[in-house]
Structure 1
Amino acid sequence: MAPPKDLTVASIHSASVPNSTSAIEGNESTDYGYDEKSTRRLRRKIDFSLIPFLALLYLLSFLDRSNIGNARLAGLEKDLGMKGLDYNLALAIFFPFYVLAEIPSNLMMKRYRPSIWIPSIMVAWGTLCCLMGVVHNFAGLLAIRAALGLFEGGLFPGITFYITTWYQRHECGLRMAIFFSAATAAGAFGGLLAYGIMKLDGERGLRAWSWIFVIEGAITVAIARFLTDDDRREVQRRLEADRSFLDDEFNLKYFRAAIGDWKIWVHMMITFGIYSPLYSFSLFLPTIIKALGYKDTTAQLMTVPPYVVACFFCIFAGWMADKHGQRGIYMISCNILAIIGFTIQLATHVPKYKYLGTFFAAAGIYPNVSQTVAWNGNNIGGSTKRSVGIAMQVGFGNLGGVLSGFTYTSRDAPFYRHGHAIIIGLLTMSTILCVFMRWWCGKENERRSAADQRNGRGRGWTKDQKMAESEKGDLAGFFKYTL
């Protein structure tokens, strides 16, 4: 099958890496690579053509899954006769279906064209969000939330994997941070939009919470070839050089390699300790702020500033991590920042200080969502194994969403001590595992460098030597882990 005309995952990896060099033979500019100026031009071309659109997609996705928190303030529970833990169950049911979709979706992204797959699931979840605005009972809400999870599940792991097929390892962090900063924008935009939509209460027989779902879902549905041939070859050459000739062939043995890799499982636990606080924060921030004494409409607006701060920290941390070629130290720092924020929530009942704590929490949690995926992706060799490994990581992390649905309960209001304590515990676990992984990666890099010296490879591996170990992925002797 001929590669598609537009540059997609399929066109970059239409052949395995060992054979890809033949495609660029005879072209002087790509045999030796672009100069520094041309490389910067190529990166900017990809950045401006790709990242804004991907960020927009995720903004819409995150908006459509988290707007239930805004709808709650607009009367959702009362109109649907919800009581007790019904709201928590409505939050939690989204995530098992979200997780089920992630590995199959990433394999589809690897096997087929993202330009077909992503818009299809996007239209589906936007339509479901609209339908959520016209449900008449709690059972209908549960059914649509479950279906919404199934269709949204492929977007985040798919796009994060997609970014790794366009950029070298130490260029991914900033791009993923910009892409994920859309989630912080969704939090801010969602509060502002909900504030405006609440003025439609009663229009055409629909309550304000219904309009929140209908309008935000409709926006998603409504929004449902840019490189030269030399650019295409240069993207392929740069990826090949960065990934050290690792095999990118679609083969189920790499699926099995990902399942059996203990390092991916550690990253899954790290991610669980970050995503559960993330979802808890985003789903319950309006409720927490309301508990500080603010009215519904004011509480919607008060959710905006913490997300603005989170957006800045998300991009800044991604830029710094790429600049220094490290991930772990920045993740540890951000986790500590988030722990400080939730500790403030526990330590005081003064509203202005508790509100200050939400800024620390947001500034610490949100940067690590993109960085943890970038770190795991950096340390998985081979695109098929990487696509599965990222889906495993994101999928398991999103199981934290099930927990987040029950982190803050009405029985724990108004101080939510148990909820804050659970989140502090999860962030502490994640921090300890980050410290361990950074230590292990450093020791393993030292061991491989020492082995190179003993085997006479101190000046580097030859192309033929790399090709001989191309199927080993990150276990190949020439592969070095990102700390």
Structure 2
Amino acid sequence: MDDIAQSKPGTEAVEYVKPGLLQQLPLPAELGSLGSDEIEQLEKGLVRRLDTCLLPSVVILFLMNILDRNNIANAKIAGLPDTLGITNTQYNTCLMIFYVGYILTQLPSNLIITKVRPSIYIGTVTAAWGVVSMCQAFTRNFAGLFLSRFVLGMVEGPFLPGGILPHVLLEWLFIIEGSMTIAIAFLVIVFIPDYPGTTKRWWMDREYQLLADWRLRNENAGLVDDDPGSLLWGVKQALLDPKLYMFIVLQMALLTAQSFNNFFPSIVGTLGYNETITLLLTAPPYAFAFVCSLTISFHAAHKQERGFHIAIPLLFAFLGNLLAMFVPSTGGRYFSMFLMTAGSYSPYNLCVSWLSSTLPRPKAKRASALAIVNLMGAGVAHFYTSYIFPDSQKPRYYAGGGVMSGACLVCALMALGIKWHLKKQNVEIERAEMEEGAVASSSAITGTARADGVVSFRYVH
């Protein structure tokens, strides 16, 4: 990597194409006496602790988030509309209203979490959505379900496919999944760290905290990730970055391509099997998507590439949508559902991480950008996707299939467009470094030139 040099105003901070050497900045004074072998062992211990404590907590919370959000799709197969006496349009409206509540809390929550302890905040909102999810079990009409879904969206907004469980415990679906969420919310609080400088956890000693903070500074152009302005300043900085709007289109198209998720049990139900087999058949496509997602993510990380790893799976999802609409055989249609799920879900985590690594710091801008993109993708996109699978179009769902097919192509093309744009940005940065002797500056992060050293960065594309 380039040597640390003085920043130059007007040049935007960007990310590595490939990770550089670990020691790019001086070690903290408290770690200065450690040798290279000791630092290496300390880093391995830090990563191991994060993998065994933080990662499982996040995975479990995300699983409960998906279960509580999508259990209404399984409840529909079990006869929810008939039980509550609601029409297909009213059911779709209950799907849509969830995302109204969801987007109302996205942006303010992401700004608040930069000022409070994330562990307590995340645990509290998780317990809250567990309570609301349980309340869905006691609704008796359209108004009750409508209100509970709206509130559920509000309490799930701050957080970011059910398997075979609903098949076994369908009548207790909302109560069991909601109570599990509440219990898990309080259990994981002790495993979720806050920020490296403030974390006090039984599994993270002071040396690990210092090393974690040092690693983050290396990724942040050697600067402390502080906010030079207000929370609204962070929102403004995000809105002024043109790359934000590229990622909005990318995420909205991707979430539209995934819009079958709230209707997937109904789509599988068109294969003609009974309720129990239908619910069991929904699990394998999602399991396959999970394996594909892990494989593609690891390969993308190894190759330090994003655009093609997002675009190619979406072409398979596009093929899956076409097969679902036009292939007559049961086996062929079920195979298409594997392509739909794997092709559209595999790029999701790449899109989120790509956004986070592409938009400059500080925390307020990064948090605002993530919230805005998620608001538009996971929120606004569902305003129209909640109505594109009417029961009247069974078994082919041409409207939904057509919209998802178009979204797959838009998302793939936008991924390639972002890749081209970021490559162009890297060329301009390299030219500036060669001609003017500058490195990627932090001035775009702080709004002012910094005298302390920065590290030369490149966008990952």
Which residue, out of 398, 410, 424, partners 1:429?
410
Q: Which residue of 1 aligns with 2:169?
A: 197
Are 1:238 and 2:215 an aligned pair?
yes
Mark the runs of 5 or more structure 1 residues left unpaired by the alignment: 1-20, 157-186, 199-207
Match of 2:133 among 129, 135, 152: 129
Q: Which of 291, 297, 304 is 1:325 aligned to?
A: 304
In structure 2, the residue corresponding to 1:111 is in which secondary structure? coil
Which whole-Å CA distance do the structure 2 matches of 1:89 and 1:379 have between them? 35
Question: What's the CA shift for 1:34?
Answer: 6.6
1:92 is aligned, of 90, 96, 116, to: 96
The answer (yes or no) to whether the contact 1:30–1:230 under 8 Å persists in 2 is no
CA–CA separation in structure 1 for the residues paired with 2:53 and 2:148: 33
Note if contact 2:360-2:445 (Cα within 8 Å) is conserved in structure 1. no
How far does residue 472 in structure 1 lie from its aligned partner after superposition? 5.0
The answer on 1:417 being equivalent to 2:421 is no
3-state SS of the aligned residue for 2:459?
coil
1:427-466 correspondence runs (5 A): 427-457=408-438, 461=439
What does the per-residue CA deviation read over 1:366-405, in whole Å, with 9 as the maximum and x for residues that have no partner? 1222111100101112122111111111111012222221
1:168 match: none
Deviation at 1:83, TM superposition (A): 1.4
Q: Is the 8 A contact 1:132 1:144 kept in 2?
A: yes
| C-alpha separation in 1, matches of 2:34 and 2:443 | 23
> In the alignment, does 2:428 pair up with 1:471?
no
Asked if residue 361 in structure 1 is aligned to residue 357 in structure 2, the reply is no
Among 283, 291, 298, the residue aligned to 1:312: 291
Q: How far apart are the structure 1 equivalents of 2:30 and 2:447?
A: 29
Query: What is the CA-CA distance between 1:470 and the residue it aligns to?
Result: 5.3
Q: Which moves more between the two structures, 225-234 or 299-308?
A: 225-234
Deviation at 1:456, TM superposition (A): 2.7
Alignment partner, residue 151 of structure 1: 155
2:459 alignment partner in structure 1? 481
- Conserved in 2, the CA contact under 8 Å of 1:33 and 1:234? no
| Displacement of 1:30 | 7.7
Give the direction of change, closer, same or farther, for the CA distance of 1:47–1:453 in structure 2 (3 Å limit): same
Query: How big is the shift at 1:237?
Result: 1.0
Alpha carbons of structure 1 residues 220 and 381: separation in structure 2 relative to 1, 3 Å: same
Give distance in 1, aligned partners of 2:328 and 2:443: 63
Q: Report Cα offsets for 1:103-129 as digits up to 9, x if no partner.
A: 111111111001111111111111111
The percentage of aligned residue pairs carrying the same residue is 27
**Residue type of the alignment partner of 1:261:** D
Q: Distance in 2 between matches of 1:469 and 1:22?
A: 24
Deviation of the 1:218 alpha carbon: 1.1
Give 1:191 deviation, angstroms: 3.5
Q: 1:393 aligns with which of 358, 373, 377?
A: 373
Q: Is this contact kept in 1: 2:250–2:414, CA < 8 A?
A: yes
Q: Against the structure 1 CA distance between its residues 349 and 140, is the aligned structure 2 distance closer, same or farther, given a 3 Å change threshold?
A: same
Aligned to 1:270: 250
- Equivalence for 1:57: 61
SS at match of 1:407: coil
Change (3 A) 1:432 1:197: same
Matched residue pairs, number? 411
TM-align CA RMSD: 2.2
Output the CA distance in 1 between the equivalents of 2:27 and 2:163.
50
- Give, as a single letter, the amino acid of the residue that structure 1 aligns with 2:369: G
Preserved CA contact (<8 Å) 2:217 2:224: no
Q: Distance in 1 between matches of 2:322 and 2:51?
A: 38
1:215 maps to 2:192: no
* DSSP-derived class of the 1:133 partner: helix
Distance 2:39 2:312 in 1: 36
Q: TM-score scaled by structure 1?
A: 0.81
Superposition deviation, residue 477 in structure 1: 9.8
User: Which residue in 2 is equivalent to 1:248?
Assistant: 225
Q: Note the alpha carbon deviations across 1:25-80, whole angstroms, 9 max, x for none.
A: 35316898974454333212211110110110011011001000100011100011
Residues 303 and 468 from structure 1, CA distance in 2 versus in 1: closer, same or farther, beyond 3 angstroms?
closer
Gaps of 5+ in 2: 1-24, 186-200, 449-453
Aligned residue number for residue 373 of structure 1: 352
- Paired letter, 2:61: L
- Would the aligned equivalents of 1:247 and 1:470 in 2 still touch at CA under 8 Å? no
Partner of 1:10: none
Highest relative contact order (Cα 8 Å, sep 6+), 1 or 2? 2
Task: Note if contact 1:339-1:424 (Cα within 8 Å) is conserved in structure 2.
Answer: yes
Q: Aligned match of 1:228 in 183, 202, 205?
A: 205
| Partner deviation per Cα, 1:424-468 (whole Å, 9 max, x = no partner) | 1111111111111100100110111011001135xxx4xxx9566
CA contact (8 A) 1:247 1:471 kept: no
After superposition, the Cα gap between the structure-2 partners of 1:283 and 1:29, relative to the gap in structure 1 and judged at 3 Å, is farther
Deviation at 1:344, TM superposition (A): 1.0
Q: Which residue number corresponds to residue 69 of structure 1?
A: 73
Q: Indicate how the Cα distance of structure 1 residues 400 and 30 shifts in structure 2: closer, same or farther if over 3 A, else same.
A: farther
Deviation, 1:247, is 5.5
Higher helix share: 1
TM-superposed deviation, 1:101:
0.9
The code of the aligned residue for 2:298 comes to: W
CA deviation map 1:251-293 (0-9, x unaligned): 2323211022111111011001111232x22211110111111
Q: Is the 8 A contact 2:70 2:262 kept in 1?
A: yes
SS of the counterpart of 2:169? helix
Distance 1:23 1:243 in 2: 15
Cα distance in 2, alignment partners of residues 249 and 33 from structure 1: 31
Provide the C-alpha distance between the structure 2 equivalents of 1:143 and 1:132, rounded to a whole number of angstroms: 9
Partner of 1:384: 364
- Quote the Cα distance in structure 2 between the aligned partners of 1:31 and 1:262: 44
> 2:312 and 2:460 mapped to 1: Cα distance?
17
Is 1:266–1:433's contact at 8 Å kept on the other side of the alignment?
yes
Q: Distance in 2 between matches of 1:370 and 1:360?
A: 18
Residue in 2 aligned with 1:295? 274
